[in-house]
Chain A
């Protein structure tokens, strides 16, 4: 899960992350801890959508307007925290996509758009706990926006489009009811979280949690250094990512792996390669190796197998088997 989130942080274009696992295995805790780990981002000052100052193409209408009038098209810039937005179960659609600002409408009779959660999550993370309990149409909507990177609102007589590029992180418990295959496929990476079977590790978890509950401030201070290490690693990986090359031989193997597993479409291959490149970047490597592909193959592919739905949880093993077939025994 950690690797999957790191990959998504470095290269959001891998698509969302689906986290499956038992309750109480720390899924939410990890996601909610993200803001502290992430490097801050530059954003256009005063922009309600947190537009990226350097990306001219994907600005919101407001920024485009402002840029047209600003000297040399430059807009003031501030530092912001990367947003990690929690989508509460039971949120209604108007709050998610945004809607007519009633307050302004009532007070001034003015037609103004009030951005929703999707706007707040722009360039960050949108976390949905218990994704299988969310209403189907909301999930579809989220996936759709996550994929296009743009939120188009046509309601209440307002017509707005604004960029909304975010990493969708969904968590759920497979026992609670199956997830639709269409939904699974739309997530870039999928990881399964299990409780550690190592007693010492579990004990350490309890100890740290307890230390945190008893004195949060001291705990955070103690771990600050470790946090900044991770931050530095993310930044370095982002910088390196564009220059990471994928040798043809590795590409060949990755495709073979997908063929062996019979994944539908090319989404599997693309995600596999993106994830492998990002992993290489995180590893300070210049080229992608088979090892990187093998490392990310389970999370990139396991939810894309043309499944025998009734074969419970066997997809992880199937990926492992295919890896052995394609790459030879480890």
Chain B
């Protein structure tokens, strides 16, 4: 597969990556919370090296807090201080990590493991600089202005930092983030720049060029432009200048804007002053190819053109050049556009040029959503004794004890017991209770083989769409597996973003053999993992049941059928619920046999009637 993957010019790339890492480091050290923070997409070791260099540039007095991704909301943002509450007999608020780090730095390793809502709350705190605590009997507000460093070790094509938080972090370093200590300005230089940054002027041209660039690269968030401006200020301050020059903007755009680009500016070769580049919404092309599924492998066709350009590296020098000679704005913007383009990661560039929307793929990869799913919602606490499984609900316990305090105090005084500020008795204990919502996870296994395609792949797609609409109303999760040729691929892991499911389905090509056994195996894996995630899986097969590719990838109808029935028996043994929708023109005995082996319902699809299928699935849901 990896035919022409550009492990591109390691030297070249390495240097520019270093320069980038160094520039980002000094900018963050200078601008601090004004630009939110940074995402380090690298192994823990690389990120630690970067952070150690970063810390060496900060004043000794600055607080640096580490926030484990597993920390609970009350520890992060503040909550009820249990010890003090018990000791004093009144609810006492406790500061969280972010409030303790006010004016300093918060580091979150393994941010991909932090639940999305928690990440969103971190983002909300960064917006206002205040941590508002409203939980468990505490109403409090703490100042919490901090710089966030998120270490994201998730796989290349996914983001561990949830979108709401990512938008609030100006900088991203991808790949090797290590820096050369010498390449970074000294702590003293940084301190000087920190003192200066607020006084750096931004001319109208500077602000205009940033606005133009955001527009040209399809960046919707106004935060990006604000961050770019502060980054440019930091760069000017590092250079001890009191106004921003073109070089600052170029580098700031590379650091802040390039990673956010969602489209390429229309080439304006003509010199016509026609500022707004044409505005075609980057809608997915009609042939969004399946390549999107395996982006890292697909060699971007535009790659060769990109290589000769020495990317980001040039920019730091550019900031040394004197302010722009009096050439007109248009030219300046052209150069800036070029600078940004050169800093866009090659794969992204290829994707952009193909007008494919990469962000849509990152979205919804909300693995962390799982947490709230399994945890379920909390319902009224119940009297009981806490043990390993049942957790004490402190607040409810205190509440239960509260009204009796006077009476108990009197009683204990009468019995000459030592005075206590709070008397809790066994009857007061309350334990937490959760209700887990048994959500359904519908796994569609779609036969995209030649035989199915020739017959009614299109109609099957229609049927799935009807089911999707149904699932939507029920807030089910949906995942999609397609099989053809020799493989069964998970096109879409469980998600509630159904629009994506539809898009993927629409672009599903047909053709090839029918590896039914492999498909059933894949369905078992998906079903079991959905069950582990706390949802109730229902597998919907859409196939004509005419297997002709065996598990070993070889053809042969008899062999393939045996494998398929064997897989179906395993499926049945795993206790998963299934519906098999026969997509052949008239009821196909093979399909019925497979359905029986699966222990599932068999639904022929003689005339497409999407509602009938929806009904069948609903039934399976109830039975299963």
Contacts and interface: CB of A to CB of B under 8 A. Distances in A.
A100 B369 CA distance: 32
B194 interface: no
A107 to B, nearest CB: 7
B91 A24 contact: no
Interface stretch (A205-213, A222-230, A248-256, A267-275): A205-213
A262 interface: no
A158 B167 CA distance: 43
Nearest to A92: B135
Given A176-B363, A178-B496, A135 B372 contact: yes
Given A178-B498, A202-B215, A203-B212, A25 B222 contact: yes
A137 B395 CA distance: 20
A180 B471 CA distance: 11
B172 interface: no
Nearest to B218: A195
Contacts of A88: 77, 121, 124, 132-134
B416 to A, nearest CB: 21
Given A89-B121, A175-B363, A310-B469, A24 B406 contact: no
B475 A180 contact: yes
Given A197-B279, A202-B211, A28 B139 contact: no
The 5 closest A-B pairs by CB, nearest first: A24-B221, A105-B402, A203-B211, A109-B406, A95-B134
B124 A25 contact: no
Nearest to B211: A203
B399 interface: yes
A156 B127 CA distance: 35
B72 to A, nearest CB: 10
Interface stretch (B224-232, B334-342, B516-524): B224-232
Contacts of B73: 90
B120 interface: yes
B499 A310 contact: yes
A117 interface: yes
A180 B439 CA distance: 14
Given A109-B406, A133-B116, A180-B475, 13 more contacts: A89-B124, A106-B89, A106-B90, A106-B422, A109-B402, A130-B164, A176-B164, A178-B499, A210-B207, A210-B229, A309-B472, A310-B465, A310-B502
Nearest to B125: A88
24 contacts: A25-B221, A28-B127, A90-B73, A95-B134, A99-B399, A102-B395, A107-B90, A130-B120, A130-B164, A133-B117, A155-B380, A176-B366, A197-B215, A197-B279, A199-B212, A200-B211, A206-B211, A206-B226, A210-B226, A213-B34, A309-B473, A309-B498, A310-B465, A310-B499
- Interface hub of A24, A117, A180, A214 (most chain B Cβ within 10 A): A24
Contacts of B363: 175-176
Contact of A199 (B134, B211, B219): B211
Interface of B: 34, 73, 77, 89-91, 116-118, 120-121, 124, 127, 132-139, 163-164, 167, 198, 202, 204, 207-208, 210-212, 214-215, 219-226, 229, 275-276, 279, 360, 363-364, 366, 369, 372, 377, 380, 395, 398-399, 402-407, 422, 465, 468-469, 472-473, 475, 496-499, 502
B217 to A, nearest CB: 12
A173 to B, nearest CB: 7
Contacts of B204: 207
Contacts of A173: 163-164
Contacts of B406: 108-109
Given A28-B127, A103-B91, A203 B136 contact: no
A92 B134 contact: yes
Given A100-B399, A173-B163, A206-B225, A194 B220 contact: yes
Contacts of A210: 202, 207, 226, 229
Contacts, number: 186
Contacts of B135: 90-92, 95
Contacts of A92: 134-136
Contacts of B472: 178, 309-310
A300 B363 CA distance: 29
A25 B223 CA distance: 8
A44 to B, nearest CB: 22
A23 interface: yes
A102 B399 contact: yes
B222 A26 contact: yes
Contacts of A102: 90-91, 137, 395, 398-399, 402
B253 to A, nearest CB: 13
Contacts of A109: 402-407
A181 B405 CA distance: 47
B403 A111 contact: yes
A76 interface: no
A128 B215 CA distance: 29
A87 B139 CA distance: 12
A96 B221 contact: no
Contacts of A129: 124
A177 B163 CA distance: 12
Interface in A117-141: 117, 129-130, 133, 135-137
A129 B124 CA distance: 8
A107 B91 CA distance: 11
Given A199-B276, A206-B229, A106 B499 contact: no
Nearest to B137: A102
B210 A106 contact: no
A129 B117 CA distance: 11
A22 interface: yes
A52 B219 CA distance: 45
Contacts of B136: 92, 94-95
Nearest to B359: A175
A243 to B, nearest CB: 40
A242 interface: no
A137 B275 CA distance: 49
Nearest to A109: B406
B214 A312 contact: no
A23 B215 contact: no
A39 to B, nearest CB: 24
B137 A94 contact: yes
Given A129-B124, A176-B163, A96 B134 contact: yes
Given A199-B211, A199-B275, A23 B221 contact: yes
Give the interface centre of A22, A99, A117 by most chain B CB atoms within 10 Å: A22
Nearest to A90: B73
A308 B135 CA distance: 39
Contact of A100 (B198, B207, B402): B402
A86 interface: yes
Given A28-B127, A177-B366, A309-B469, A133 B497 contact: no
A42 to B, nearest CB: 26
A132 to B, nearest CB: 10
Nearest to B363: A175
Nearest to B226: A209
Nearest to A197: B279
Q: Which of A23, A28, A173, A200 has the most CB of B within 10 A?
A: A23
A256 to B, nearest CB: 27
Contacts of A155: 380
A60 B591 CA distance: 66
Interface string A6-50: 000000000000000011111010000000000000000000000
Contacts of B475: 180
A157 interface: yes
Among B116, B276, B399, the most chain A Cβ lie within 10 Å of the Cβ of B399
A149 B409 CA distance: 41
B221 A195 contact: yes
B134 A107 contact: no
